[in-house]
């Protein structure tokens, strides 16, 4: 009987060990769970990144660089698309076979505008040059009067000029073009007229006298008629 009890008690020992191992496993699982909870609790909270002044400046620099690159690209495209202006346009025309019909029409319009501008500049420059020449040189009336004065005062240096004589005959009755003091000299000059110039001057004087009878109150007409009578008296 004693042996049986000892056997029974001996058979129960492994069961205790099994219970102890189960308890240890359970405890390990609980410890692991507690550790996980602690790790979750102790995990650092991720704070969202705050933009600093340095970050803002870096973004601005990136935008500025991007804008500069875009502007440079646009400028290059414009230089390529626009045809050359001025003298270079005539020396280096674009190859027409590389252009579409619409592009050719646009290019032709641009070339016409350029040519018109160049023509205007040229005409303006020529006009200014002509005005300066006229302003710097003596007028036709002054040259004719100088011609008449030279005939009266310095006959040795005087030379006949048909252009000057024609101007004097055309304006001989106009007191604004030929003053009274010069008209007396002109009468002396007219004494030497011969041929067609003499006949034409007399006919013109007769016409002015006849005209004065139709406008007795016109001062200018009467002044011309007065000179015309003197010329008729001199040349008839």
Tell whether 150 and 226 lie within a shared domain: yes
Say if CB 177 and CB 227 are below 8 A apart: no
pLDDT at 24: 60
Question: What is the percentage of the chain residues whose pLDDT exceeds 90?
Answer: 32
Alpha carbon separation from 228 to 139, 184, 186, 233, 234 (Å, rounded) = 25, 13, 12, 9, 10
Q: Is pLDDT above 80 for 133? A: no
Q: Is pLDDT above 60 for 150? A: yes
Per-residue pLDDT averaged across 149-170, rounded? 93
Tell whether 163 and 222 lie within a shared domain: yes
Q: Is pLDDT above 70 for 11? A: no
Per-residue pLDDT averaged across 31-52, rounded? 59
Identify the domain containing residue 224 by its residue range. Answer: 140-235
Tell whether 199 and 230 lie within a shared domain: yes
pLDDT at 136: 57
Alpha carbon separation from 10 to 16, 20, 23, 24, 59 (Å, rounded) = 11, 16, 21, 22, 81
Q: Is pLDDT above 90 for 102? A: no
Alpha carbon separation from 103 to 96, 100, 117 (Å, rounded) = 9, 5, 21
**pLDDT of 181-232, one tens digit each?**
999 999 999 998 988 999 999 999 999 999 988 888 889 999 999 999 999 9
Q: How many domains does the chain have?
A: 2
Give the C-alpha separation, 157 to 145, whole Å. 15
Whether 228 maps to a domain, the answer reads: yes
User: Would you give the DSSP letter of residue 96?
Assistant: G
Whether 31 maps to a domain, the answer reads: no
Tell whether 132 and 157 lie within a shared domain: no
Tell whether 228 and 146 lie within a shared domain: yes
Query: What are the tokens at 161?
Result: 């000029």
Q: Is pLDDT above 50 for 10? A: no
Whether 202 maps to a domain, the answer reads: yes
Whether 111 maps to a domain, the answer reads: yes
Per-residue pLDDT averaged across 46-63, rounded? 66
Tell whether 222 and 172 lie within a shared domain: yes
Tell whether 172 and 206 lie within a shared domain: yes
Tell whether 126 and 153 lie within a shared domain: no
Tell whether 211 and 222 lie within a shared domain: yes
Whether 14 maps to a domain, the answer reads: no
Tell whether 146 and 162 lie within a shared domain: yes
pLDDT at 56: 72
pLDDT at 89: 46
């Amino acid at each position: 009987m004693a042996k049986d009890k000892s056997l029974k008690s001996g058979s129960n020992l492994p069961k205790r060990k099994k219970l102890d191992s189960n308890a240890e496993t359970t405890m390990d699982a609980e410890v692991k769970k507690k550790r996980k909870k602690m790790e979750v609790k102790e995990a650092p909270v991720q704070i969202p990144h705050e933009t600093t002044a340095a970050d803002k400046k870096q973004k601005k620099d990136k935008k500025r660089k991007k804008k500069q690159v875009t502007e440079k690209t646009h400028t290059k495209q414009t230089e390529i698309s626009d045809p050359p202006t001025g003298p270079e346009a005539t020396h280096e025309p674009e190859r027409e076979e590389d252009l579409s019909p619409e592009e050719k029409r646009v290019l032709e319009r641009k070339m016409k505008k350029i040519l018109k501008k160049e023509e205007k500049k040229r005409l303006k420059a020529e006009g200014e040059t002509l005005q300066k020449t006229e302003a710097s040189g003596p007028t036709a009336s002054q040259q004719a009067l100088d011609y008449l004065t030279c005939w009266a005062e310095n006959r040795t240096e005087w030379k006949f000029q048909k252009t000057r004589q024609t101007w004097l005959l055309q304006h001989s009755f106009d007191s604004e073009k030929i003053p009274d003091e010069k008209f007396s000299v002109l009468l002396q000059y007219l004494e030497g007229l011969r041929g067609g110039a003499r006949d034409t001057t007399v006919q013109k004087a007769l016409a002015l006298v006849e005209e004065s009878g139709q406008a007795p109150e016109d001062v200018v007409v009467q002044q011309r008629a007065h000179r015309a009578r003197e010329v008729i008296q001199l040349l008839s």
